Structure 1
Amino acid sequence: MALDDDVDRGTVATTEGSGSGGRAPRPRPARAPGERSLAASPSTWFVWAGMAAFLVLLLGILVAVVVDSFGRGWFRTWLPPEWTTDWYSGAWDRFDLTHVVGVTVGVAVTVVVLSVLIGVPAAYLLARRSFPGKRLVNVLFLLPILMPPITFGIPLATVMYAFGLGRSVIAVILVNLVPSVPFVILTMTPFIEQINPAIESAARMCGAGIRQVFTRVLAPLLVPGILAAAILVLVRTVGMFELTFLVSGPQSDTLVVAIYRAMTSAGGGEARQLISAMAVIYTTTMLAMLVVALRFVNPTQLVAQVKDARDD
C-alpha cells in the first residue's frame, strides 16, 4: 500500500507540473550503432573539404592542359578564340612521336617480361627457403625502391657509358630493371607465402617435377598476382624519368623524357601548345593502362585467390 501511495503521489505531482506549464524533457532517440552526427565530427567536414579542394585543383590542371592543346592564343580570354588539332599533328611530326611511342612501348614491355621472369622465381625461393642472411637480402631488395632513383642512377649511368651502352635502348632497359625486379619480388613473395605448401607436396607425390609443379600447379594460382605486379611495373617504367634520362639519347628516349627535352630545347623556344599536346598524349597513355589494369586485374579476385589457396 505504501508503494502504491508513493506512485500515486508521484503521478499527481507530475500531472500538476504539466498542468502548471512545466514540460517534462523528452528522451533523446537512441542512436544506431556506428551512426555518427555530422555536427559532432568537424574532422569529417575537414576531410571532405580537403578532398574537394584536391579534386578541383587536379581537374583544373587537366582541363587547362587539354584546352591549351586545342586552342590558339589562349590565356587572354576565358576560352580560346579558335580551336584546332594542328598542335597534335605538329607535335607528332616535330618530335617524331611514332618512334618515341614505339620505344616507350618496347622498353616497357621488355622490362615487364624480364622483371616477371626474374622476379617470380626469386620470390618463390625467398618464400619457400630459409637461409642465413635472408633478412639482409630482403633489405637489399628494398633499397632500389625506397632510395631516390637519382642516387643510384648516376653510378649506373657511369657504368653504362663505360661499357659503351650509353644512349641505347639496351641501357634504358637495364637501368629500369634495377627497381622493377625488386618490386616484383617484394610484391610476389607474400602472395606465394599465402599458398599452402601442401599443394606442391601433393603434386610431387603424384610424380610431378619442379618445373611441372611451377607451371601447372603454382602458375594458375599466381596469375592474378603476376598480372598485378606486371601492370604496376608497366606504369612505373613508362613514368620513370630519372633513370631513363641519364642513359637515353635521341633514338632511345621514352615519352616522358621526350616531353622534358621538348620543354628545354632551344631555351624553351617550342610553342607551349606543342608541349600541352604531348602531355595529353602521355596522360591518355597512362589512363589507358589504368583502364587495362582495372579490366584484367580485379582486386576482389586477387583476394579470393589468396584465400582459396590458403584454405586448401
Structure 2
Amino acid sequence: MATTTVAGRRKAQTLPGERSLVASPSTWFVWAGMAVFLVFLAGIIVAVVVDSFGKQWFEGWLPAAWSTSWYSSAWERFELGEVIGVTVGVALAVVVISVLVGVPASYLLARRSFPGKKAVTALFLLPILMPPITYGIPLATVMYAFGLGRTVVAVILVNLVPSIPFVILTMTPFIEQINPSIESAARMCGASIRQVFTRVLAPLLVPGILAAGILVLVRTVGMFELTFLVSGPGSDTLVVSIYRAMTSAGGGEARQLISAMAVMYTVTMLVILVVALRFVNPTQLVARVKDARED
C-alpha cells in the first residue's frame, strides 16, 4: 500500500525540464480571447470580401447573385490605377528620403555626445507619440500657404515628419550595439569616415535599414490623417480615396464599390508585406544584431 502511494506521488511530480500538460485557467482564458478575436476578424474580412462579389445581399446568408463587376466599376469610377501608382510612389519616396536622412542622424546620436542630446531624442518622439492630426493641421496650413496643397510633394513632405524620427529611433539602438572598435580598426588602416560608413557600417546596418524601411512603407501606405489634409485629385493615396468614395454625395456610392476598394487596399498591403519579407527575414535581423554585439 505504501509502495503504491509513493509511486503515485512520483507520477504526480513533474520532472525538471518537463512541461505540465494541464494548462492553467489563465492560459485557457488567453487562448479563448485570442480565438474570439480571430473569429470576429475573420468574420469581418469574409463579410467584406463576399459583399464585394455579391449583387444583392443581407437578405440571406449569401448573396443572391455573384459578379466581379464591382471591381471593374470601382477601378474605372475612382481611377484606381492612378491612385495605386501615387500610393506606391509616395511610399517609396518617403522610405528613401527617411533612410537617407535618418541613418546618418541616428549614427550621430549613437556615437556622439553633445549638450541637449536627451532633449533632441525626446523631440524625435513627439511626432510618433502625438496624434497626427495635432500637428497635421499646422503642417497643412503651411503647405497651402506655400502653394503646395493638393500636390504629391505635399503628401511626401507631411509623411516625412513622423517617418524620419521613426527611422532614427529604430536605427539608433541598432548602431549602438555595433562595437565601435570595428570603426577604429578601419580608421587605423587608413579608411576615411565616408569609407568607414559605406564599406564597414553599411553592410552591418542593412538588416536594420530594411526593417525600418518596411515599417515606414506600411505606415505611409496606411497613413490617413496627414495625407487627407494636404491631398486632392491626382495626389490621393488609396486609403484617402476609399474615404472620399464613402463620403462622396452623402454616401451615395454603392456599398459593394466600397467593399471592392477595401479588398484591393488589403491585397495591396499584403503584396507589399510579402515582397518586403522576401528580402527581410526577422530571424536574420536578430542574428545580425547578435553577431554585431559579439564583435
- TM-score bracket for this pair, using the shorter chain length: over 0.9
1:27 aligns to 2:8 (yes or no): yes
1:213 aligns to 2:207 (yes or no): no
Name the TM-score, length of structure 1 as normaliser. Answer: 0.90
Amino acid at match of 1:177: L
Aligned length: 292
Shift of residue 84 of structure 1?
Answer: 0.8
Deviation by residue 1:157-192 (Cα, 9 ceiling, x = unmatched)? 111111111111110000000000000000000000
Equivalent residue, structure 1, for 2:39: 56
1:255 aligns to 2:238 (yes or no): yes
Deviation by residue 1:40-72 (Cα, 9 ceiling, x = unmatched)? x11111101100000000000000000100111
Where in structure 1 are there 5+ consecutive unaligned residues?
A: 1-13
1:176 aligns to 2:137 (yes or no): no
- What is the alpha-carbon distance in structure 1 between the residues aligned to residue 5 and residue 247 of structure 2? 77
Amino acid at match of 1:205: M
Amino acid at match of 1:31: T
Name the TM-score, length of structure 2 as normaliser. Answer: 0.96
Amino acid at match of 2:51: D
Shift of residue 310 of structure 1?
Answer: 1.8
Alignment identity in percent? Answer: 80
Shift of residue 311 of structure 1?
Answer: 1.6
Equivalent residue, structure 1, for 2:118: 135
Where in structure 2 are there 5+ consecutive unaligned residues?
A: none
1:307 aligns to 2:290 (yes or no): yes
The counterpart of 2:74, out of the listed 80, 91, 97, is 91
- Return 69-78 or 259-268, whichever deviates more: 69-78
The counterpart of 1:156, out of the listed 139, 142, 156, is 139
The counterpart of 2:130, out of the listed 132, 136, 147, is 147
Shift of residue 298 of structure 1?
Answer: 1.2
Whether the aligned pair in 2 keeps the contact of 1:111 and 1:177 (CA below 8 Å) is yes
Shift of residue 269 of structure 1?
Answer: 0.3
Deviation by residue 1:172-219 (Cα, 9 ceiling, x = unmatched)? 000000000000000000000001111111111111111111111101
Q: How does 1:1-312 map to 2 (within 5 A)?
A: 27-28=8-9, 29=11, 30-33=13-16, 35-36=19-20, 38=22, 41-312=24-295
The alpha-carbon distance between structure 1 residues 24 and 173, as it changes in their structure 2 partners (threshold 3 A), is: closer
- What is the alpha-carbon distance in structure 2 between the residues aligned to residue 309 and residue 44 of structure 1? 36
Amino acid at match of 2:267: T
Shift of residue 121 of structure 1?
Answer: 0.3
| Cα RMSD (Å) | 1.6
